[in-house]
Amino acid sequence: MSNNSTSEKLNRLKALLNDYSFPEKIYEGMLREIDQLLTWAIQAKVSPGNSANDVRDVLGDPFAEIGGGSTFSWLYPCEPPEGDIAFNDLQGWYYDLRFQDDELVSATKENWRFTK
């Protein structure tokens, strides 16, 4: 894979994640595209031990941040695992990137429920 296509994929991912924050910009198939690019980026460009700043440089700003201090998670929207269902805007599937002491510990798909 050339650097140009890598750069284009990462730029596309960041643009999609930004647009996903605005309900009027969401379109059918958008979450699938985010999920595919995010899965690729996490597997190819992000690994445990990366600093939070390095992860942000690769993936862009998280959709949500949970926790604080030395232990926190960044959430990025994704499709549910095969055979599971998507939820509403208060409950859904996210890549949960967990950090400890500013270093990435893990990146897994998790079902999160938010309250108003």
- In this structure, which amino acid lies at residue 75? L
Distance CA 47, CA 18 (A): 22
State pLDDT tens for residues 92-109.
Answer: 889 999 999 999 999 999
CB 98 within 8 A of CB 73: yes
Q: Is the dihedral of CA 6, 11, 17, 23 positive or negative?
A: negative
State pLDDT tens for residues 65-95.
Answer: 999 899 999 999 998 877 666 555 556 889 9
CB 27 within 8 A of CB 16: no
Percentage of residues of the chain with pLDDT beyond 70: 86
The confidence score (pLDDT) of residue 62 equals 94
Question: What is 16-79 written as a DSSP string?
Answer: HHHHHTSGGG--TTHHHHHHHHHHHHHHHH--TT-BHHHHHHHH-S-SEEEEETTEEEEEEE-P
The confidence score (pLDDT) of residue 72 equals 97
- Which residue has 């993936």 as its token pair? 59
Residue extents of the structural domains in the chain = 3-113
State pLDDT tens for residues 27-51.
Answer: 999 999 999 999 999 999 999 999 9
The confidence score (pLDDT) of residue 25 equals 92
Distance CA 93, CA 77 (A): 6
**Across all residues in the chain, what is the average pLDDT?**
89
